[in-house]
Amino acid sequence: MTADPNWQDSRATSGRDAARSVVIDNIGLLVTNDPALGDGPLGIRRDAAVVITDGLVEEVTGAGAVADTRIDAEGMCVIPGFVDSHSHLVFAGDRAEEFAARMAGQAYDGGGIRVTTDATRNASSIELDRLVTERLRRAHLGGTTTMEIKSGYGLNVADEARTLQVAEGHTTETTFLGAHLVPHEYLGRPDDYIDLVCGDMLAAAAPHSRWIDAFCEEGAFDADQCRRVLEAGRDAGLGLRLHGNQLGPGSGVRLAVEMGCASVDHCTYLTDDDIDALAGSDTVATLLPAADFSTRQPYPDARRLLDAGATVAIAANCNPGSSYTTSIPFCLALAVRDMHMTSDEALAAATIGGATALGRTDVGRLSPRARGHLAILDAPSHHHFAYQPGQNLIRLTIGPYG
Ligand code: NIG
């Protein structure tokens, strides 16, 4: 898939006469993520309105604007829709017992990926599509309007291609993750499996993928194997991302920076050198606090990353093993309470940070020509995500998946 998702839905509009416009009016606090439009890095406006024409933001203005349709925000807060840049939504089966065992003291080691692979291979594409649709519906109710979806539970040529075809029915942000774990049939032969991933599997996956990813971790794949996967993906025209430093210190972050990955995800165990490398690069550090929560791992040191100048994203990482949630509001509460991010930093990380991790400029912000994807909160400010944890604070999500 070579299409650039930026602006792909924009249509030339000759003005209000020919276009359908909607105004979100009477916004008490509007987060635009465009410093040119308001105060501070979040570009905050008070008593505001957003006019959306044919799906794109036409104007950010004062309350009282006029359009074909009016939605009254009743003085509440409006934010850009969440951009969830890391998910594994195409899966079947259930690993609740693995979770229960973990809560009783067992460590997470990623081995359960093979359990999900068995279940996913046995599920029809219609069933997988139904499961993805339901997970996206829940994400949307929680304010998410852009979602990256990885493969990684097929782990053979046909099932990786099939799961990516299911994913591309829902998002342009599809990621080929054949290098998720060595499947049963290749146990003890990881390099042979990497040959397959870089050969026939990539050839079958690439037409349905925008990105390629690999799990760089002890017990999964080492840096040399991941480098081979990323190089093959780059040669096939895919963008690069990497799972790294999730279960212990390792070479994932440095490999991601060396290879110019758009994002390295997890970043739970970082050395000073890792942080310096991220801060001096364009690679986004994508933090997945719900995974650290569900695996009883420490949280990443977001404060040090931010203070060093790294770009940080927050994503939910919905998957059946380490993080079975699509709730970005839950992640925001963890980020503020346990990762010492401010509410402003956490919100930015889950909106414009996620967009940056996906190389997108048309989402994650509410400025003219961006997509009109937003969430109206049942709260006067975004601080309430951490202040009222566990509450449903999304009154209305405007954007896809609805
Ligand atoms: O991002 N770490 C690798 N992949 C997923 C977990 C996969 C699973 O346990 O099924 C993650 O956490």
Q: Would you list the domain boundaries of the chain?
A: 21-81+364-398, 83-357
Contacting residues for 127 by C-beta, under 8 A, at least 6 apart: 92
Distance 321 CA to ligand 1 centre (A): 6
Atom of ligand 1 nearest to the CA of 295: 12
What is the Cα 201 distance to its own chain's centre?
Answer: 24
Atom of ligand 1 nearest to the CA of 177: 4
Q: Record the pTM.
A: 0.95
Helical residues (DSSP H) of 217-311, grouped into ranges: 223-235, 252-258, 272-279, 289-294, 302-308
Calculate the alpha carbon distances from 117 to 188, 200, 221, 281, 345 in Å. Answer: 18, 19, 17, 34, 36
Topology of domain 83-357, CATH: TIM Barrel (3.20.20)
Q: Which two tokens stand for residue 238?
A: 């895919």
Write out the chain's pLDDT in tens, 402 residues.
333 343 333 323 334 445 699 999 999 999 999 999 999 999 999 999 999 999 999 999 999 999 999 999 999 999 999 999 999 999 999 999 999 999 999 999 999 999 999 999 999 999 999 999 999 999 999 999 999 999 999 999 999 999 999 999 999 999 999 999 999 999 999 999 999 999 999 999 999 999 999 999 999 999 999 999 999 999 999 999 999 999 999 999 999 999 999 999 999 999 999 999 999 999 999 999 999 999 999 999 999 999 999 999 999 999 999 999 999 999 999 999 999 999 999 999 999 999 999 999 999 999 999 999 999 999 999 999 999 999 999 999 999 874
CATH 2.30.40.10 corresponds to the domain 21-81+364-398: yes
User: What distance in Å separates the CA atoms of residue 278 and residue 333, rounded to the nearest whole number?
Assistant: 24
Helices first, then strands: H and E counts in the chain: 15, 16
Distance 89 CA to ligand 1 centre (A): 11
Atom of ligand 1 nearest to the CA of 95: 10
Distance 386 CA to ligand 1 centre (A): 25
Distance 239 CA to ligand 1 centre (A): 20
Q: Which of 180, 247, 292, 323 to mutate to test the pocket of ligand 1 (most atoms within 8 A of CB)?
A: 180
